[in-house]
Amino acid sequence: MRGPHNLWRLIRTAGTFEKTGAMDVVLDQLNAPRELRIAARVLGWPFKWLGFAGDPALPPVTRAITALGPSYIKLGQILSTRPDFVGDELALQLRVLQDKLPPFPTDQAKAMIEADLEVPLSSIFSEFSDPVAAASIAQVHQARLVGDGRKVAVKVLRPGIARAFRRDIDAFYLGARVIEMLSSSARRLRPMDVIAHFDETVQQELDLRTEAAAAGEFAANTARDEGFRVPGVEWSLSGRAVMTLDWEEGVQMADLAAIDAAGHDRAALSERVIAMFLRHALRDGYFHADMHQGNLKVAPNGDIVALDFGIMGRLDEYTRRVYAEILMGFIRKDYRRVAEVHFEAGYVPADRDIDLFAQALRSVGEPIFGMDASRISMGRLLAYLFEVTERFGMETRTELILLQRTMVVVEGVARTLNPHMNLWTAAGPEVERYIRENLGPRALVRDLGKTLRVLSRFGPHLPRAVEDALRRPDPKVAEVARRRAAGRPWLWFGAGVVVASGVAALLQVL
């Protein structure tokens, strides 16, 4: 769908930003160069009359994005996770974007369910309500299953939403190209990559099988977490355009009066929200990346229930260890160790001065730890940390930015429940537990075991690989193969050393 019509979409977008007063805010926050400002004015000012007025009660940027529709709302939500790209203040404004839209007719939802599942709706649901929630991509209905009468939540994609998103995403790519062409400073932040990430995220959300899989994986990871649960997936009633989950009773996390009326301990809930998020991020490397109040419920028994699994975050094992060591270093005020971790991980170029970097880290930590414990923010700590590491040449790491953004949201939820919450009371035990289990002798034994498993998989293939190489007519290849064959005893010797080291470490643990 690429073509001149995308220019029309950019013109209407620029006109809307001019009409709502959002253009100046965005250009200032991006610290846009002269060339980009001129291009924005050329696209926007003459066509201001074509723009949407939006809701005057909203701030300019939120007003413009909401008026432009679902694709822009989703893009704004994604950009809120990239303060490195849009700036801290604009990212903060974008975080409050709500994707609540008018619902589409229930009859259309029923028709989509029957088309996707290829069964009559009356054969699977004895009851089917009008929409109970409607967002930019899908809406949710409450239903009862035929047979056992269980309540379920049925999420249905908006009709035509995939085509609408595809059309707008093409225009976003054009806009990113224009920005890269006109701004060398913006080029460093790779706008095309930002849109590509948005494209990938949206494509996942447009296939509800992907969200169902995310819910299933998250439920499996957290099954033994006391006080936290995830709705089960009804796989036989889920497809590309439909997802069916167990219905979870409870009150919304944002409804403090209802939480109090139900007799729940808000202080305990606030600490559990923080602890669960860190446990999932560190222990599992898979966390809910959209944990605002609207996606959390408090069940009648006090459990926290997570909903909506369209945006999830992942951290590989090595990144988790680095992250945990950085947090623990700050908690212990061991800034030299925090600096060493950054250098060891390759986050900061090796030619930088480690002592100057440790000193800069102290400037991050000391002001925060000088605060009252109830005012300490891990999200703010990470934000300051990224500012310092950027000055020392650290490249943008989107997975850590998503983690930081989610941490800010989760802290906001926790402090809404209990404004006097002590963050370290909730976070400290989780970080310490992870370090104890993953950075000590037991972790060494596990790592050695994984190394041996990898070597054992390659072992049976080595003799055949050497024989094949020796049979080749090329004398250079044959010579290389003979040298490898000659070195095979050293390979087994090395494996023996690894085994011996593992046994020694295990004995040390025991």
Of the candidates 370, 368, 402, 379, the one whose C-alpha atom is nearest the C-alpha of residue 274 is 379
Question: What HEC string does 478-499 produce?
Answer: HHHHHHHHHCHHHHHHHHHHHH
| Angstrom distance (rounded) from CA 336 to CA 325 | 12
Non-local (6+) Cβ contacts of 184 within 8 A are 33
How many Cα atoms occupy the beta-carbon half-sphere of 84 within 13 Å? 27
| Angstrom distance (rounded) from CA 407 to CA 424 | 13
Q: How far is CA 3 from CA 8, 174, 187, in A?
A: 10, 9, 23
222 membership: H or E segment, kind and range:
none
CA 448, 451, 457, 462 dihedral sign is: negative
Q: 453-467 b/e with 16+ CB inside 10 Å = b?
A: eebeeeeeeeeeebe
| Angstrom distance (rounded) from CA 113 to CA 156 | 7
| Angstrom distance (rounded) from CA 195 to CA 78 | 9
Catalytic amino acids?
290
